[in-house]
Structure 1
Amino acid sequence: MNVEQALNRLKQKGYKYTGKRETMVEIFSREDRYLTAKEVMEEMQGQFPGLSVDTIYRNLSLFEDLGIVEGTEWEGERRYRFHCGGDHHHHHLICKQCGRTKPLNLCPMNALLGKPADFTITDHKFEIYGYCQDCEINPDEQAVK
């Protein structure tokens, strides 16, 4: 997904193209990591001083419904990242320090479970948390945090 594809998706689904929505899409395009609503709000307040947190949450919810962003629960907070694009099934490695992600292009579910008898799996999520090469820290320091 890129900015143009995201904005076209909004337009195709009948939603207004606004400066706030465009700015949000650009933020997610620029950041290759999960962001909180608060981080998005802080990025936008200089350009939109009267911006409300409700507007941010409404648009994040809309973007998630339209497949523009992907959401996850992490450390008790909902976080969002630009959708990877395409319909291929994959999971993510997520850095706990900076929030950057890397795709994991295999499905651990297949190795763990296979196809269970008498149950149809319709969806699942598998995320692995750790530290990217840039943020990797001494294991002794991790225990202190």
Structure 2
Amino acid sequence: MEQNLSNNIVCPYCHKGFPLTEAITHQLEDTVRNEIEQKLMAQYTAQYGGEVKKAKEEALAWAQKTFALELQDKSDELARASQQVSAYREKERALLQKERELEEQKHAVQLGAEKRVSDEVKKAYAKAQEQVQAQFALELQEKSNELKGEGKKIRD
């Protein structure tokens, strides 16, 4: 029984006991497993490394080609959009020019109408003034004649 106790190890964390041979076996298994994995990885790399490299290169070439096509499509789309924007700007410029011309025509028509009204007012004022002067001259003549008549009566 003493031999059984000396072949056991107690875990310092969980205080559980287990055989010394199990700890050594586990450690050896890990070491052997790592060595086998390294050997297999080296063998795999030697055997399939060229194919993996070729596949990576093909994938990269495909991605570059796809990206180039997408970039060209986007570039074409941008060019079409730029042309549309230019066309819309030209239409906008033409419409603004037409609007300015219409505003100028409207202003010219307003000025013409105001000038005609002003001319008509001046004519009407001149005509009224002539009528007033003619009426005043007529009344003055009548008053003058009355005064001459009164002056004759007084002298006689």
Q: TM-score by structure 1 length?
A: 0.19
Larger relative contact order (Cα-Cα within 8 Å, sequence gap ≥ 6): 1
Whose radius of gyration is greater, 1 or 2? 2
Structure with the larger strand share: 1
Structure with the larger helix share: 2
